[in-house]
Amino acid sequence: MRGEDIKDPSPPHASEDLRFIADSMLGRLSRWLRLLGYDTLYFPTIEDNKIIRIARSEGRILLTRDTRLIKEKGVGVKFLLLTSNDTVHQVLEVIKIFGLMAGDMKRCALCNGVLKNIEKASVQDSVPEYVYLNFSSFMKCTECGKVYWQGSHIRRFRDRFEKMISVSSESNQDMEETEN
Ligand SMILES: [Zn+2]
């Protein structure tokens, strides 16, 4: 077919309904996944039984490095046992297994709350002046109130993500494999 309109160039977010819960060792991984747009629960301290209960009742994929947790309590829970101790490698493991792509910014990196677009005028007192003057689109976490903007930190994060993916596809065999 010829002459089609150019549609939104971003790839379809096939995995956008994936939801995760990360164990208490995986705080940095959780923040990455949230910035990529994925609903990811994380509690710095949580009992094994509780994390399993949430994963099961909410249909979340449990991300963990804890073999014992899976062996003893993981019946009926979808999980990914991460092999690496390094956050970048962990992100790559999750991306590879689930085919993740960077979706829209819609989860708060700090608390996993849903982000909502807000009027520029309403953030004047809560962001630095240069941000207010230089950016036009703002979002606010509906849970903790943190304000986000499409600034350089988001761009840097996305650049890093793209770079990670391209490096990973060049050297998939070099990924760290650790026996537990
Ligand atoms: Zn928040």
DSSP per-residue string spanning 119-179: -GGGGTTTS-HHHHHH---EEEETTT--EEESSHHHHHHHHHHHHHHHHHHH-GGGS----
Please list all protein residues whose beta carbon sits less than 5 angstroms from ligand 1, which is an ion.
108, 110-111, 113, 141, 143-144, 146
Tell me, in angstroms, the distance from the centre of ligand 1 to residue 157's CA: 18
CB-based contacts of 28: which residues, under 8 Å, 6+ apart? Answer: 87
Q: How far is CA 15 from CA 9, 134, 165, in A?
A: 17, 33, 16
DSSP state of 18: -
- State the distance from the centre of ligand 1 to the C-alpha of 118, rounded, in angstroms: 14
**Ligand 1 centroid from CA 145, angstroms:** 6
Distance 115 CA to ligand 1 centre (A): 8
Distance 27 CA to ligand 1 centre (A): 14
Whether 100 contacts 107, CB under 8 Å: no
Among 104, 150, 110, smallest CA distance to 127 is for 150
- The rounded Å distance from CA 146 to ligand 1 centre is 6
CA of 126 to the centre of ligand 1 (A): 15
Confidence (pLDDT) at 100: 83
Question: Could you give the angle at which helices 27-35 and 87-98 cross, rounded to 10 degrees?
Answer: 50
pLDDT at 27: 96
Dihedral angle computed from the Cα positions of residues 117, 121, 125 and 130, in that order, rounded to the nearest 10 degrees: 90
CA of 112 to the centre of ligand 1 (A): 6
pLDDT at 152: 63
Per-residue pLDDT of the chain (180 residues; tens, 9 = 90+): 444 333 333 344 445 579 999 999 999 999 999 988 899 999 999 999 999 999 999 999 999 999 999 999 988 899 999 999 999 899 989 988 998 877 778 899 999 999 999 999 999 998 999 999 999 889 999 999 999 987 766 777 778 878 877 776 665 444 433 333
Q: What is the structure's pLDDT at 179? A: 37
Among 127, 130, 110, which Cα is nearest to 138's? 127
Domains assigned to the chain? 19-103 (3.40.50), 115-149 (no CATH)
